[in-house]
Amino acid sequence: MSKYANLIKEARSTESQQTSKPETQEEQVNLSVKVPKRLRRHWVAEAKRHDTTLTAAIVEALKSRFGEPT
């Protein structure tokens, strides 16, 4: 095998180890929300400035507003 083939093989095996889900983690689904483009740009920039993601901010807001199931 060439050295590049070995690198690719190693990267794939490392990637598969990192992406395996623990059994206790719930299945993730998409939540689609339509917002004006200017607001999305602003929110993405602010999230980056605060070293977070829009996903984290949205989940936090939904949990604080509606809580979690018991």
pLDDT tens-place string over residues 10-55: 888 766 555 555 567 889 999 999 999 999 999 999 999 999 999 9
The pLDDT-based confidence of 9 (bands split at 50, 70, 90) is confident
The mean pLDDT of 44-69, rounded to a whole number, is 95
Q: Are 40 and 47 in contact (CB under 8 A)?
A: no
Output the pLDDT for position 6.
83
Determine the Cα–Cα distance for residues 64 and 70; give it in Å rounded to an integer.
Answer: 14
Determine the Cα–Cα distance for residues 20 and 35; give it in Å rounded to an integer.
Answer: 33
Q: Are 70 and 63 in contact (CB under 8 A)?
A: no
Output the pLDDT for position 35.
96
